[in-house]
Amino acid sequence: MLPEACREPLLGMYYLATLPGRRQAAARRAIEGSAPIRTLFYHRVADDHPNGWTISTERFKDQIEWIQERYEIITLIEAQRRIGSDQNSTAAVCLTFDDGYADNCREALPWLLDKQIPFTYFVSTNRVNTGEPFDHDVEAGQPLAPNSIEEIRVLAEAGVEIGAHTRSHADCGKIDNEDELYDEIVGSKRDLEAMIHRPVRYFAFPFGLEENLSRAAFRTAFRAGFWGVCSAYGGYNLPGEDPFHIQRIHGDSSWARFCNWLTVDPRKLRNVQRFNAGDYRLCF
């Protein structure tokens, strides 16, 4: 494996070399109605305590403006409609956030709201209810504050789609007990609905890689009345695929990785396999 400092320039070269082909492919997909829907996930937007799940405010805004110049930014509901409709001609992006960091409310979220850019905000309810930091932040020596109940209520009032992210930020792939899965997935939905007095329609798997998902968790989420669930292992969403499962890609601080993903890396389009969750298409 090449060190990071070498990989980014190489990826940049690959991106530039394949850009003409990507543009042609995008034009072809628009005509055919097979344009993929990209769904991004971010965690924390802040200028202090940099880490792998934080992006600077300036870089975040630059990325959103880059997206706005090229793509339509749509809600998760609209993304599902397009995935389920067999035809999508317009290149579109969905924005989501995971975990629920208080720092997001300082600048990034007010800025998005001010620009009327839709996004979905997934939170782990034990963190919001107790105010205690995430285990992964404590382990990293950065006990960052989660959002407060009041902040989540204000976001919901402002029209933000608030989604569930389990109660304890659990790895659903490791839970083989149905009651525990129910408590984490359905429990987080109920906690949030009691908090914001609105239906909670979407669920995002903590960690979100293939090993963190399970068919039982998909089933539990579906039976609980969620409209859709989000993974985070990369992958695009093509018209005609199962709209219950929305695949997401990382809103990466690296411009090379960010542009490479969003303009549809042909290798990733070919090689990233959808998790075999069962098929919920008939239910839509």
Query: Does 171 help bind Zn ion (rule: CB under 5 A)?
Result: no
Q: What is the dihedral of CA 251, 164, 110, 149, to 10 degrees?
A: -140
Q: Kindly tell me which residue out of 206, 235, 239, 251 binds Zn ion, with binding defined by CB under 5 A.
A: 206
Query: Does 99 help bind Zn ion (rule: CB under 5 A)?
Result: yes
Query: Does 98 help bind Zn ion (rule: CB under 5 A)?
Result: yes
Query: Does 184 help bind Zn ion (rule: CB under 5 A)?
Result: no
- Residue 49: Cβ within 10 Å count: 14
120-123 vs 161-164, strand pairing mode: parallel
Q: Which residues, at least 6 apart from 51, have a Cβ–Cβ distance to it below 8 Å? A: 140, 142
CB 62 within 8 Å of CB 45: no
Among 4-12, 154-162, 171-179, 204-212, the segment contacting Zn ion (CB under 5 A): 204-212
Q: Which lies closer to Zn ion via its Cβ, residue 135 or residue 150?
A: 135
Q: Which lies closer to Zn ion via its Cβ, residue 206 or residue 235?
A: 206
Q: Which lies closer to Zn ion via its Cβ, residue 99 or residue 171?
A: 99
Q: Which lies closer to Zn ion via its Cβ, residue 97 or residue 244?
A: 97
Among 20-28, 57-65, 203-211, 264-272, the segment contacting Zn ion (CB under 5 A): 203-211
Give the span between the Cα atoms of 144 and 49, in whole angstroms.
Answer: 9
Element containing residue 78 per DSSP (H, E)? helix 76-84
The residue ranges that bind Zn ion (CB under 5 A) are 98-99, 206
